[in-house]
Amino acid sequence: MTDNTDNPTPSPSRRSLLGWGGAGLALGAAAAGGAVAMARTDDDPAPDAGTAIAFHGAHQAGIATPVQDRLHFAAFDVTTDDRAEFVQLLKDWTQAARRMTAGQPVGEGGYGGLPEAPPDDTGEALDLKPSRLTLTIGFGPGLFGKFGLAEQRPAALVDLPKFAGDNLDKNRSGGDLCVQACADDPQVAVHAVRNLARIGFGKVVIRWSQLGFGKTSSTTPEAQTPRNLMGFKDGTRNIAATETGRLEKFVWVGEQDDPSWMTNGSYLVARRIRMHIETWDRTSLQEQEDIFGRDKGEGAPVGKAKERDEPFLKAMKPDAHVRLAHPDTNHGATILRRGYSFTDGTDGLGRLDAGLFFLAYQRDVREGFIPIQRNLATDALNEYIQHVGSALFAIPPGVRDKDDWWGRTLFSGEA
Amino acid sequence: MRPARPVSVAIAVAAALTAVTGCTEKSNAADGDHVVHVTATDDKCEVSKKEFPAGHVELAVENKGSKVTEVYVLFPDDRVVTERENIGPGTKQRVTAEVKAGDYRIACKPGMKGDGIRQTVKATGGKAIQRDPRLDKAVAAYRAYAQAQADETLPKAETFARAVKEGDLEAAKKAYAPSRIGWERTEPVAESFGDIDPKVDVREDGLEDGQDPATDWTGWHRLEKALWQDKKIGDRQKELADRLITDLKDWQNRVGKADITPTSMANGAKELLDEVATGKVTGEEERYSHTDLVDFKANVEGAQQSYELLKPVAQENDKALTTELDRQFAALNTLLDTYRPDPASYDFTSYDKVGKTDRKELSDAVNALAEPLSKLAAAVVK
């Protein structure tokens, strides 16, 4: 009403930033297609926290995009059995996501409409900057049991095996759909998930969700590697947003991979990893450093001086975390991590309910997360952590332009 | 103390007096304009004129019948503009009202019962408010529904109260949930009388700071606690049973005067679902009796009644919305039916036997209905 794509009046500060950072570039990237997509704003290694990340591209934003500070991740179950209705939901979600990532409110906005009716947008992100919001959708194994999609289920979308030490809570696991919302402002991320959930009522229901507050991985190597809640730098050699070759090899599904609808997509493993914070804090510095295989101050691998020095794995204890997780110990297996720390208050026993919400993207989990996690069965760190939630999603390719929508390649019949 | 104050007050009083005087003179001069003579008999309600200027109107009522009567000025949706009860045979009464331009009804109710005998009248001049007659009809029908719910509740509440007063624990338990159905169906209307709701439907945690549960907590839920948790009926409970009936009679008498509009009907339907979402689906409402699903069902029925009455207009404005609402009402009702062996009865599964997963399923179904229902008001006034 008072707001539309051409004239988004209710949020001047979001709009003014959008002018140069958002829509213009997004359309440019879309017009030029996938080849140019790598040149979009999210590859800028030192982005301004207030800017908008282009929504359109060959790949979904929120994977190689420089990691934002905050996360709201939500897993949904699909309740509708009407394929057309579900496709419409994906289109409605795409449109809402396109607007929100550009810093615009959903629908006709957060105010100015009929006084007797609730506004289209919930309003808590009005006047806030786009905050580099990215929204990334994924399809879980359960979705392929519906809508006649069984034949489309990727072989790589396996049912994850049980790993040593898993103590999975089904209320924090699985899901037919996921939405990963990352932003530099937690309110912007929460607003996005809340509005998508609202649009989804009657078709999908939230199964579980997780807030994350501090990134634990970086896709911008020149930036400092963030620390996890154990106080350690981990993931120093994570794949950078600019490493096109490693992204193609380890993260993006290639044209030669099956199924073809997943080309330019990826696979996401999400694990809620609880940390036994109190016992960790009572562990001696020497033991902490031995467990990780790095020193706590600089983050240098055992026997080396600098964080980025090439680790000499044999110098570490056989059960050191870095040694077991390193690609050299895993036949080169490599994943892109963009996990977040979480703290959900206390657990009823006075212990901090905290840990790492692990998010890892890879071209094929059978060559990525699964062998690495199996190798970590003897990890010394396991005494201090426990995997309590788990989910796997197929991440479809990006939305190319304003006529495209999330999941179009999967639902090709409706394209 | 401050000299300026008395002076300004004096001026204001003088101005007001002038205005009143002027008004009186004017109305005397034009007595025929603003006075409507109403002659009520046992089967007629005659009015001296069917059109009068908007503003002050006075009904000069004479009851020439043999029964006590009452006279109403009503909006087209049956909302009461003004009324005068207990006009005895052979007596005269004057009833006054301020009215805007528009259509009204004057109704006489010989014997003070039923809808009354009606005359359509019109106030002219000034700005008239145009309303869709279908919506007025919907509001009038909903008003009748709310009244019927109150009327039907009273005997059920009296059965409940009687059992309490007889100290019959089992009979009281049995009569408890049915006595609430009419209230729960029309909760937003009932709650619009802000002073009745806290007397009959408050829960212990709803008491305000400084209120003493022993003396200030009244109504259904206090008795619920006595029956299911304390498992005994004392003198205080017997008093409370009487008090509940008194308060519900107050509701019954006032429900016809509730301010109801098409949008308040639409939003009232949504509010009924909100009641479910915040109170029933969590098991907070009936924490001792666990009869939450009875309330749940009544809330949904009330919402559906409101929706069905507004549907002809809403459907014209937003077909997709009414299709979705039809589907979601059906889905929720089907789900609720799985919790009662007989779809004709209100014997639902005790809510403490409904597990976490099933509660989530109920909650999801409520969200699926309440979200589109929140768009009904917009579809009605479009």
**Residue burial B158-168, b: 16+ Cβ < 10 Å; e: rest:** bbbbebbeeee
How confident is residue B320, by pLDDT bands cut at 50, 70 and 90?
very high
Task: Say if residues A388 and A272 touch (Cβ distance below 8 Å).
Answer: yes
- Tell the CATH topology of B133-154+178-193+243-380: A middle domain of Talin 1 (1.20.1420)
Closest alpha carbon within chain B to A76: B364
Question: Which of A27-36, A88-97, B95-104, B265-274 ranks highest by mean pLDDT?
Answer: A88-97
* CB contacts, 8 Å: A117 with chain B: 374-375, 377-378
Q: Quick check: B29 pLDDT over 70?
A: no
A210: region left, alpha or beta (phi > 0 left; psi from -120 to 50 alpha)? beta
Q: Is A407 part of any domain?
A: no
pLDDT of residue A29: 34
Q: Is A378 part of any domain?
A: yes
How far apart, in whole angstroms, are the C-alpha atoms of residue B206 and residue B226? 17
Q: Rounded to the nearest 10 degrees, how much is the dihedral formed by the CA atoms of A329, A335, A337, A342?
A: -70
User: Token pair of B310, please?
Assistant: 């507004």
Residue A243 lies in domain: 70-398
pLDDT of residue B170: 97
Could you give the percent of chain B with pLDDT greater than 90?
69
Per residue in A324-373, pLDDT (tens digit) is: 999 999 999 999 999 999 999 999 999 999 999 999 999 999 999 999 99
How confident is residue B209, by pLDDT bands cut at 50, 70 and 90?
confident
Question: Which ranges of chain A have pLDDT less than 70?
Answer: 1-49, 415
Considering CB atoms only, which of A114, A117, A201 is closest to B367?
A201
* CB contacts, 8 Å: A109 with chain B: none
Chosen for mutation from B371, B376, B382 (greatest number of chain A CBs closer than 10 Å) is B371
Q: What is the DSSP letter of A247?
A: H
Using alpha carbons, select from B99, B266, B321 the residue that is nearest to residue A115.
B266
How close A198 comes to chain B (CA, Å)? Answer: 7
Helix, strand or coil for residue A393?
strand
Per residue in A1-20, pLDDT (tens digit) is: 333 444 433 443 443 333 33
Considering CB atoms only, which of B364, B367, B375 is closest to A117?
B375
User: Token pair of B244, please?
Assistant: 């509940």
Q: Is A254 part of any domain?
A: yes
Give domain limits for chain B.
Answer: 35-124, 133-154+178-193+243-380
Chosen for mutation from A201, A204, A206, A208 (greatest number of chain B CBs closer than 10 Å) is A201
Task: Say if residues B237 and B226 touch (Cβ distance below 8 Å).
Answer: yes
Q: Which residues pair with A180 in a beta bridge?
A: A73, A136
Helix, strand or coil for residue A215?
strand
pLDDT of residue B27: 40
Rg (CA), chain A: 21
* CB contacts, 8 Å: A79 with chain B: 364, 368
How close A73 comes to chain B (CA, Å)? Answer: 19
* Residue A81 touches partner B, C-beta closer than 8 Å: no
Number of domains in chain A: 1
The mean pLDDT of chain B is 88
Q: Quick check: B168 pLDDT over 50?
A: yes
Using alpha carbons, select from A288, A304, A306, A308 the residue that is nearest to residue A296.
A288
Q: What is the mean pLDDT of residues B150-172?
A: 97
pLDDT of residue B102: 87
pLDDT of residue B13: 36
Q: Quick check: B20 pLDDT over 50?
A: no
How many residues belong to chain B?
382
User: Token pair of B381, please?
Assistant: 């006034």
Q: Quick check: B243 pLDDT over 70?
A: yes
* CB contacts, 8 Å: A201 with chain B: 367-368, 370-372
* Residue A113 touches partner B, C-beta closer than 8 Å: yes
pLDDT of residue B31: 55
Using alpha carbons, select from A251, A245, A244, A224 the residue that is nearest to residue A235.
A224
CATH architecture of B35-124: Sandwich (2.60)
* CB contacts, 8 Å: A205 with chain B: 360, 364, 367-368
Q: Which residues pair with A266 in a beta bridge?
A: A395
* CB contacts, 8 Å: B378 with chain A: 113-114, 116-117
pLDDT of residue B77: 82
Phi and psi at B328, nearest 5°, equal -75, -35
Closest alpha carbon within chain B to A171: B357
Task: Say if residues B87 and B110 touch (Cβ distance below 8 Å).
Answer: no
Least trusted range by pLDDT, from B101-105, B142-146, B217-221, B320-324: B101-105
> pTM for this one?
0.79
Helices (H), A267-378: 277-281, 285-292, 321-325, 369-375
pLDDT of residue B100: 84
How close A5 comes to chain B (CA, Å)? Answer: 22
* CB contacts, 8 Å: B374 with chain A: 117-118
